[in-house]
Amino acid sequence: MSAARKVLGYSLSNLLRNWWVLGYGLLFLFLTDALFRFGGGGPRVAASLMNVVLIVIPLVSVVFGTLYFSNSREFIELLLAQPVSRPALFTGLYFGLALPLAAAFAIGVALPAAAHGGAGLMRPVATLVAAGVLLTFVFTSVAFLAGVHFEDRAKGLGFALLVWFCCAVLYDGLILLVATMFRDYPLEPALLALTVLNPVDLARVLLLLTLDAAALMGYTGAVFGRFFGSALGIAAAAAALLIWTAVPFLLGLRGFNRKDF
Amino acid sequence: MSAPLVVSGLRKQFGRLRVLEGVDVALDAGQVTALVGPNAAGKSTLIKSILGLVRPDAGTIAVLGETIGADPHYRRFIGYMPQAARYPDNLTGDEVLALLADLRGGQAPHDHALRASLGLTAETLARPVRTLSGGTRQKLSAVIALRHEAPVLILDEPTAGLDPLTSSHLKELVRQRAASGAAVLLTSHVMAEVEELADVLVYLVDGRVRFSGSLDELRLRTGQRRVERAIAHLMREVA
């Protein structure tokens, strides 16, 4: 897979000079810094940042990823006309986008946290960064799946936004609806299943379990925490997020392998 | 020695649209073959099949005697110049050239003479690709296609967007490559260019080869001296 590494290298040097990626990192830098200055103590900062992370990271990853993939189409064709295998190219392109996006976010949050924070802040910030990085990988693979399957850029973007909207917005309403409609039934298993189906909610559960505030926010978080107990719950949520990264990636790769350009 | 590129019985269907219906083409070493046909004749699909960008439904493609399959290795023997290339915005011309050389493996090609003859200065190549004009990017594509001295060259509308001086330099380079034994496949909408460059003409309509032969054979067959008229004659004949 040395071709994948070469593609990864070019993609990194291309994107690390991209103003959108730099701006994205700066956004987190200023936001985190401002929250530390004006937002009260460490745990509060983590909780405020969590809400931004859960909305903004999926949105930016999925939109930027879809546009990046479709804008690279001509160059992808040129690269495929070289002695490069399709899986190597796809893998290189994927990590070439996901890594800079994840790094921009991670550095943007970690630098101010290191400057302001005490020792007690390590765990929440580390969890926040981990959750954000996982969400970046999940939604970048959704974006690549959209890019592979929709020739038309507008359709791909539409699909990507739809996935984001379902996960970040529609889902909470759906949970409420299910919870009120079936309140006379044992809901825990169903809600657990619904959580696993939504990477954004998984990340939320992961964060709430480590911030030890599971009971405070969200019905599914409370259920998840109670059901698994903390350590197992965290492992389960993280594993489910990895599956969420792998499945769209593999579907995208399969489509990319079979595609006629 | 057999022809460096042999396409036989190639078929491809997109949904219900049959784009290639049994295409046979052979490119001979040392000759420039022009691939000509109306829009939607299947020229792009044929080229993309050779490059492995499109998976044909049936038929075979052999490069240097080896039938191509999933292994991308054969593309080492093909130099390809796309019709309109786009490169990653923030990379410089030098970086794009380095990446493409790197992907081919082996030694970095000595292409300084080639860059110079196409008018690509070190200064231009140090700039980010997004600041380069369409014509300059086209020159970059030409360097990428020509510098490895590949035995098979595929040039898709190579002179479109180039200034007359560069265009004539490029044509000269193509003739040189053919003279040193490369098999060249060329598409062009400019019939004067076909007349100037090509030894052989393949005329594709609705996914079938309707004429394949030397320019002299074409003239004889149609009774026209100019290639442009001869092609027009062929088009009427088919219609």
A77 with B14: Cβ contact below 8 A: no
B103 with A17: Cβ contact below 8 A: no
Determine phi and psi for A165, rounding to 5 degrees.
-60, -45
Q: How distant is the Cα of A185 from the closest Cα of chain B, in angstroms?
A: 48
Q: And the tokens for A136?
A: 């970046």
Which stretch of DSSP H or E encloses residue B203?
strand B200-205
pLDDT on residue A138: 94
pLDDT on residue B149: 87
A260 with B55: Cβ contact below 8 A: yes
Minimum-distance CB partner of A78 among B52, B82, B104: B82
pLDDT tens, position by position, B79-108: 999 988 889 989 999 999 999 998 887 677
- Provide the domain count of chain B: 1
DSSP string, B17-82: EEEEEEEEEEEPTT-EEEEE--TTSSHHHHHHHHHTSS--SEEEEEETTEE--S-GGGGGGEEEE-
CB of B75 within 8 Å of any CB in chain A? Answer: yes
The predicted model scores a pTM of 0.89
Chain A positions touching chain B (beta carbons under 8 Å): 3, 6-7, 9-11, 13-15, 17-18, 71-72, 74-75, 77-86, 258, 260-261
pLDDT tens, position by position, A166-209: 998 888 888 888 888 887 887 777 777 777 888 998 888 778 77
Give the amino acid at A198: N
CATH number assigned to the domain comprising residue B161: 3.40.50.300
Q: Which of A95-109, A210-224, B196-210 has the lowest mean pLDDT?
A: A210-224
DSSP string, B67-117: E--S-GGGGGGEEEE-SS----TTSBHHHHHHHHHHHH-SSPP--HHHHHH
User: CA quadruple A187, A193, A196, A199: dihedral positive or negative?
Assistant: negative
pLDDT on residue A235: 80
Q: How distant is the Cα of B180 from the closest Cα of chain A, in angstroms?
A: 22
Distance CA B143, CA B111 (A): 8
The CA–CA distances, whole Å, from A147 to A181, B14, B44, B51, B187 equal: 37, 19, 22, 21, 29
B53 with A81: Cβ contact below 8 A: yes
pLDDT tens, position by position, B149-197: 899 999 999 998 889 999 999 999 999 999 999 999 999 988 889 999 9
Distance CA B139, CA B156 (A): 13
Global ipTM = 0.90
Task: Show residues of chain A in contact with B15, CB under 8 Å.
Answer: none
pLDDT on residue A49: 87
**Domain hosting residue B64, numbered range:** 5-238
pLDDT confidence band for A225 (50 / 70 / 90): low
A75 with B88: Cβ contact below 8 A: yes
